[in-house]
Amino acid sequence: MRVMAQMAMVMNLDKCIGCHTCSVTCKQTWTNRTGMEYVWFNNVETRPGQGYPRTYEDQERWKGGWKLNKRGRLTLKAGSRLRNLLTIFSSPKMPTIRDYYEPWTYDYETLTTAPLQEHTPVARPRSLISGEEMNISWSANWDDSLAGGPELAPSDPVLQQVSDKVKLEFEQTFMFYLPRICEHCLNPSCAASCPSGAIYKRSEDGIVLVDQDRCRGWRKCVTGCPYKKIYFNHRTGKAEKCTFCFPRVEVGLPTVCAETCVGRLRYIGLVLYDADAVLEAASVADEHELLDAQRRVLLDPNDPEVIRGAERAGIPHDWIEAAQRSPIWSLINRYQVALPLHPEYRTMPMVWYIPPLSPVVDVVADTGEDAEDRGNLFAAIDSLRIPVEYLAELFTAGDTAPVTDVLRRLAAMRSYMRDINLGRDPDESIPEAVG
Ligand code: SF4
Ligand code: SF4
């Protein structure tokens, strides 16, 4: 066992209201400059939806992440660093500016001087990049206006794969928000695909950074990152990405997105992991076993053997204590309520999500009771508004069982807290299956 430390984040999706405060504060801090207009290190995308950049989950198209070759070994879909070195002049497979969204601004003069109209404003948005007036046909949260359901968001690549259960009627449509930053992966395919060796993972805390002096602008990293969380600055000709706010983290401050999050849904902290187990876990053949494999790589920071391993590795005592205080390992492994985004990309992402339980607004048919009350919510898991299959495509490579387990725990916790708030004995409402 080779113990290393990693900064990580868990986001509780039930709490995200899609206000974009995190995106805006991140942009003001990190990408508020020429060449980065289209870039959101932190974005909040609508689900179901195409994401940002749109269709980034289509790995056959963009060639991101890792796959297993015939011998069961990991290979980059985008091509190895050596191969990319030999083919550096071939075009990387990159989304266009229109896939990210073309930055635009209102025609404020017309907006304020136009005569009163019966219906909507008539001023059209203008492109910031080309300066030409244009019809903006898409942006990162366009799907907000469309809601979920196959007829209403037909181009969503995940939605197309789920079962007939998602053939929803209008009143059963669903949506939620998915905030995203760079995953600061344990097995980052951006770094492995860079011909210049400009991308590195800091040994002390696992933050993945781009050495601006070494970057030669080949953009193979943009192709190689399956989450499309590394961006090309067209002014400087270099790649840039989320830095996990390392200058703040180094002085004990949280990331900007976490500090300013209105929903208080971002938990950040250190985790300890077994660096020797990373590649083996990322190479598990059965995609449905990737979740457990990735959980096992993260080590219990209170385990004496792990503590001794951390001391041997030179991890400072106050960092070990920070990992013990951090909620990350507990949310992922003790309570098992957090899941990784697309573990099948095999990069071992270090931003995990507590999936949305979603509102349960029905009444129980035969009793007329509130479905959120006591054990009713637990029983209602099978008929939640957000299909478990949809969440499974996002978080468990399509395996519904672990998602259902998480939702049952969240439902039990919600019932428990409701009882406490209503002055009832909470132990009576916990189903035996949860314990
Ligand atoms: Fe690299 Fe971040 Fe993409 Fe992972 S999510 S491959 S660390 S840019
Ligand atoms: Fe969601 Fe928090 Fe971002 Fe608002 S600030 S969009 S609540 S993650």
Give this complex's ipTM. Answer: 0.95
Range of the domain at 146: 14-101+139-249
Q: Give the pairing type, strands 3-12 and 351-354.
A: parallel
Nearest CA to ligand 1 atom 7: 184
- 407 in the same domain as 354: yes
Instruction: Please tell me the distance from the alpha carbon of residue 1 to that of residue 245, in angstroms, as a whole number.
Output: 29
The best mutation among 44, 45, 52, 176 to test binding of ligand 2, ranked by most ligand atoms within 8 Å of the C-beta, falls on: 44
pLDDT in tens, 308-350: 999 999 999 999 999 999 999 999 999 999 999 999 999 999 9
* Mean of the per-residue pLDDT values of the chain: 86
- 212 in the same domain as 339: no
Q: How far is the CA of 91 from the centre of ligand 1 (A)?
A: 20
pLDDT at 389 over 80: yes
- 374 in the same domain as 229: no
Question: Of 189, 332, 226, 244, whose CA–CA distance to 7 is shortest?
Answer: 244
Range of weakest confidence among 26-40, 63-77, 86-100, 117-131: 117-131
Q: DSSP label at 210?
A: E
- 300 in the same domain as 235: no
The domain spanning residue 240 has which CATH number? 3.30.70.20
Q: Residue 42 CA: which ligand is closest?
A: 2
- 160 in the same domain as 29: yes
Nearest CA to ligand 2 atom 5: 261
Residue 9 lies in a domain: no
- 390 in the same domain as 306: yes
- 306 in the same domain as 211: no
Residue 259 lies in a domain: no
Instruction: Please tell me the distance from the alpha carbon of residue 206 to that of residue 274, in angstroms, as a whole number.
Output: 12
Residue 405 lies in a domain: yes
Ranges of H-type helices in 59-107? 59-62, 81-86, 97-100
- 344 in the same domain as 229: no
The domain spanning residue 339 has which CATH number? 3.30.70
Ligand 1 lined by 190 (C-beta under 6 Å): yes
Ligand 1 lined by 223 (C-beta under 6 Å): no
- 245 in the same domain as 189: yes
pLDDT in tens, 199-242: 999 999 999 999 999 999 999 999 999 999 999 999 999 999 99
What's the total number of domains in the chain? Answer: 2
The best mutation among 261, 267, 353 to test binding of ligand 2, ranked by most ligand atoms within 8 Å of the C-beta, falls on: 261
Long-range contacts made by residues 228-231, C-beta under 8 angstroms, separation at least 24? Answer: 228/52, 228/53, 228/56, 228/62, 228/64, 228/95, 229/41, 229/180, 229/181, 229/182, 229/183, 230/182, 230/190, 230/199, 231/36, 231/38, 231/39, 231/41
Question: Of 374, 377, 356, whose CA–CA distance to 425 is shortest?
Answer: 374
pLDDT at 81 over 90: no
Q: Half-sphere exposure of 430 toward its Cβ, with a 13 Å CA cutoff?
A: 13
Ligand 1 lined by 6 (C-beta under 6 Å): no
Residue 2 lies in a domain: no
- φ/ψ region of 29 (left if φ > 0, alpha if ψ in -120 to 50, else beta) reads alpha
- 297 in the same domain as 149: no
- 295 in the same domain as 205: no
The best mutation among 220, 347, 348, 353 to test binding of ligand 1, ranked by most ligand atoms within 8 Å of the C-beta, falls on: 347
Residue 354 lies in a domain: yes
Listed residues 221, 249, 277: the one ending a domain: 249
Pocket-forming residues, ligand 2, beta carbon under 6 Å:
16-22, 44, 177, 179, 261-263, 265
Q: Give the pairing type, strands 208-210 and 199-201.
A: antiparallel
Ligand 1 closest atom vs CA 189 = 6
Token reading at 286: 């059965």
Residue 130 lies in a domain: no
- 295 in the same domain as 220: no
Q: Residue 207 CA: which ligand is closest?
A: 1
Ligand 1 lined by 81 (C-beta under 6 Å): no
Ligand 2 closest atom vs CA 17 = 7
Q: How far is the CA of 255 from the centre of ligand 2 (A)?
A: 13
Q: Residue 260 CA: which ligand is closest?
A: 2
Q: Is the CB of residue 67 less than 8 Å from the CB of residue 77?
A: yes
Residue 277 lies in a domain: no
Highest-confidence segment of 79-93, 141-155, 309-323: 309-323
